[in-house]
Amino acid sequence: MRCAVLGDPIAHSLSPVLHRAGYAALGIADADYDAIRVGDEELEGFLDGLADDWRGLSLTMPLKRRALELAPTVTGRARLAGGANTLLLEHGRPVLADNTDLPGAVAAIRERYDGPVTAGTVLGGGATAASTGLALCELGARRVRLLARSADRAAGAAAAIAAHPSAPAVEVGTLADGEIDGQVVVSTIPADAQDAGLVARCAGVSVVFEALYNPWPTPLAAAAGDRPLVSGLDLLVHQAVLQFEMFTGVAAPLVAMRDAGTAELAARHPAR
Q: So what's the pLDDT on residue 209? A: 98
Q: So what's the pLDDT on residue 270? A: 83
Q: So what's the pLDDT on residue 269? A: 84
Q: So what's the pLDDT on residue 202? A: 97
Domains of the chain: 2-99+234-268 (3.40.50.10860), 114-227 (3.40.50.720)
Q: So what's the pLDDT on residue 272? A: 52
Is residue 93 among the annotated active site residues?
Answer: no
The residue from 19, 64, 153, 164 that is catalytic is: 64
> Which residues make beta-bridge pairs with 120?
144, 184
Of 100, 227, 215, 205, nearest to 147 (Cα)?
Answer: 205
Alpha-carbon separation of residue 257 from 109, 118, 197, 214, 218 (angstroms): 18, 31, 36, 18, 23
Regions of the chain where pLDDT drops below 70: 271-272
